[in-house]
Amino acid sequence: MPIVELETNLPADRLPAGLEKRLSQATAAILGKPENIMHVLVRPGLTMMQGGSTEPGVHLSITAFEGLGTAEQNREHSARFFEFLTKELGLAKDRILIRFYPVERWQIGMNGTVATFL
């Protein structure tokens, strides 16, 4: 049940239509998970500063039970997410930051319990 959060200072009208759907599909492919378990949030128009600049930028957070955690896994995931984001948003790599959050099933609540018991 990956949770994908894309935060950007780009205004909503500068984001390509259907970005959340393509991000969901890309995340499923990158992490090797079914798309029907993706949770995708896109937050445009934020006040952001990155590297001392307010030029357009993106902060992408990926939270997942499995598939994150080793440097090798995240290096591969990072390369694929960077490829997706630079193509979709037309941003340089130095304007994108990705954070990976591996979590345990007991740390995510859903359906009135935690994922451990589902």
Domain residues of the chain, as ranges?
3-117
How high is the mean pLDDT of the chain? 96
pLDDT band at 81 (very low <50, low <70, confident <90, very high): very high
pLDDT at 16: 97
Would you say 68 and 33 are in contact if contact means Cβ atoms under 8 Å apart? no
Give the CATH H-level superfamily of domain 3-117: Macrophage Migration Inhibitory Factor (3.30.429.10)
% of the chain beyond a pLDDT of 90: 93
Spatial separation of the C-alpha atoms in residues 85 and 93, rounded to whole Å: 9
Checking if the pLDDT of 67 tops 90, the result is: no
Checking if the pLDDT of 26 tops 90, the result is: yes
Question: Which of 70, 86, 67, 71 shows the shortest CA–CA distance to 27?
Answer: 67
- Nearest-5° Cα angle at 97, 93 to 102: 135
Q: Could you give the count of Cα atoms lying within 13 Å of 26 in the half-sphere of its Cβ?
A: 20
Would you say 106 and 115 are in contact if contact means Cβ atoms under 8 Å apart? yes
Averaged pLDDT, 85-105: 96
Checking if the pLDDT of 66 tops 90, the result is: no
Checking if the pLDDT of 69 tops 90, the result is: no
Checking if the pLDDT of 87 tops 90, the result is: yes
Would you say 114 and 106 are in contact if contact means Cβ atoms under 8 Å apart? yes
